Every structure is written in structure tokens, then in C-alpha cells.
Amino acid sequence: MKKLFAIILSVIITLSVFAGCRLSTNGEQSALQGDDAAPEELLITVPDLIGMTLDDAREIIERSGLRVGDITYADIYIDISEPADTIMEQNPSLGEIVIEGAEVDLIVASGVNVFVYTNAPYTNEKAGFAIDFPAEWTERVVIQEVEDGAHFYNRANYEAGGLGSWPPGAFLSVGVLTHEQWAGYEYLAESGLRGHMITENDNYVYVYSTPTIGGLQWDENNEDLTRDYQEMAGVINLEWLKERITVW
């Protein structure tokens, strides 16, 4: 009888332990047991933040009982059509169940459009110009679009990085100015700023600049990176650009 009683007691204890366990959504046994289990009111469903502004997302996160985690600005190799401070990605994702106070990491549009040159010619509709780069430069140029033009980088050096706070590899910048702006810019150019007019029309002046002397645009200790950069930077001049640019 004592042996039978011990077996029954053992079964009861075992069932009690299993009753205090919770199964997670992926079928694995949760570590939350008994008094350690999170109450239902402390479990929160992550809201959808994609497409919101950063300010709106902050408000929703905090109102949901969560916290804003890491904020990363996406500005490299992403053709960003979203305005600056628009939420592009979130982690955890919409619908995931987390504990109250958990952090939500965000990837936010920087408003800077950075991408690899793949289609000839490069066309900047906003600034009103196109440049027909050599065919052999396809996928070797990184383009960073800005408000009034674009910066062009040698891709190998841009990806290598490590030469300062700014990305290396810049070999050309093209911008658009009004005639009034150019009058002031031309004065600065005479003072040493490397800015030159490519062409003009009734409304705008199209200008270009190249890195100043001593700019750290490539790793001089790396022969491949040096050669790759100089193959592009070495051909940039006014006549070369005049032959390859179209403006409107």
C-alpha cells in the first residue's frame, strides 16, 4: 500500500509541474512556470509601425507599454523613396507577443538616396540633368543624391571605408545653382574651392567639383583600391563632362 501511495503522489507532483508550464508559440516549453509566469496583462502585441513618422512611432510604442530601442538610419544601397524619418523596418515585427517594456528597434529613412549605378545614363529628374558614364563603370559607382545634385563615389573604396568620418571614394559632385547662387559660388571658386561651371540654361547653372588636394579618398597602401579610384578620378575634367551631361 505504501508503495502504491508513493507512486500516486509522484504522479500528482509531476502533473502539477506540467500544469505550471506554458508552451510557447513555436511549440517549445516556456521557462515561465508557476509564480514566474508573466500575467496576461503584461504580454503585449507589437503594433504596426511601418510607414509612420519617427515621432508617431515613438508615441505608439510608448502608449503600447513598450520602449524605443535602437534607431538606425538607412542610407546606403537603399533606393529610398520615403521621406526622411519614415519607419522602414521594425524588430520585433507586427503581431509578435512581447513582455511589457520590451524594446522595439527601428530602421528609419534618412532622406538620403544612396545606390549603386546600374543603368545608363544616370538621370536625376529632380535636379534636371543626366550623365552617361562609361559602360565599364556599371556597378562600380555609388551615387548619393542630395537636394540639389549628387555625389559620386568609387564603389570599391566606398565599401572599404575606414579613412575618416566621411565615406571615401568620392571623385565627383554635380550640382545645380540659380544664376544668383552661381555669382557667389564663382567668387568662392576663385578663393580655392574647386567648383566649375559645366553648362547653363535660362534658369540654372550646372556645376561640378572634385575632391580637394590631400583628400583621403582611397587607401594609398592598397594598390588595387588606388588603381580603381584613379581610373575614374583621372578622367574627370570639364571637357569630359560636357560631352557626357544632358541638362533640362
User: Is the confidence at residue 22, as pLDDT, over 70?
Assistant: no
The pLDDT tens digits for 176-227 are 999 998 887 665 555 444 578 999 999 999 999 998 655 678 888 899 999 9
Global confidence as pTM: 0.61
The CATH code belonging to domain 25-109 is 3.30.10.20
Give whole-number Cα distances, 49 to 46, 82, 97, in Å: 9, 14, 15
The pLDDT tens digits for 65-123 are 999 999 988 755 554 557 888 999 999 999 999 999 999 999 988 777 788 999 889 99
Residues in CB range of 146: below 8 A, 6 or more apart: 112, 175
Domain borders along the chain are 25-109, 113-247
HSE of 203, CA atoms in CB hemisphere, 13 A: 5
Distance CA(125)–CA(88), nearest Å, equals 24
Residues in CB range of 159: below 8 A, 6 or more apart: 142
Record the cell numbers describing residue 157, joined without a space: 573604396
pLDDT at 23: 37
